[in-house]
Amino acid sequence: MIEKFLHDLFYSTDNELDLSRVLMFMGCVAFMAQGAIAVVWKGQVFDAQAYGFGFAAIMAGGGFGVKRYNEAP
């Protein structure tokens, strides 16, 4: 079950590694790590609204990239 989830997370419908999906995943991990470091290590205040807008921008951009890649001839 986990293998299928990870395969579907990174591979397109034609069973090829999708660079836009990999980059979106890496961007999400980096965004969450930077937020955690700012709050835990540096003691900064967590602004949920700003964090949510930034994370939504990453997800929307990544979704657009996946859609454009799958529509390419």
Task: Summarize pLDDT for 10-67 with one digit per residue, the tens.
Answer: 888 888 888 878 888 888 888 888 888 988 988 888 888 888 888 888 888 877 777 7
The mean pLDDT value for 3-14 works out to 86
pLDDT at 40: 92
pLDDT at 70: 61
Structurally, the chain folds into a number of domains equal to 1
Residues 6+ apart with CB under 8 A from 9: 21, 25
Q: pTM for the complete prediction?
A: 0.69
Neighbours of 4 (CB within 10 A): 8
Domain extent for 8: 2-71
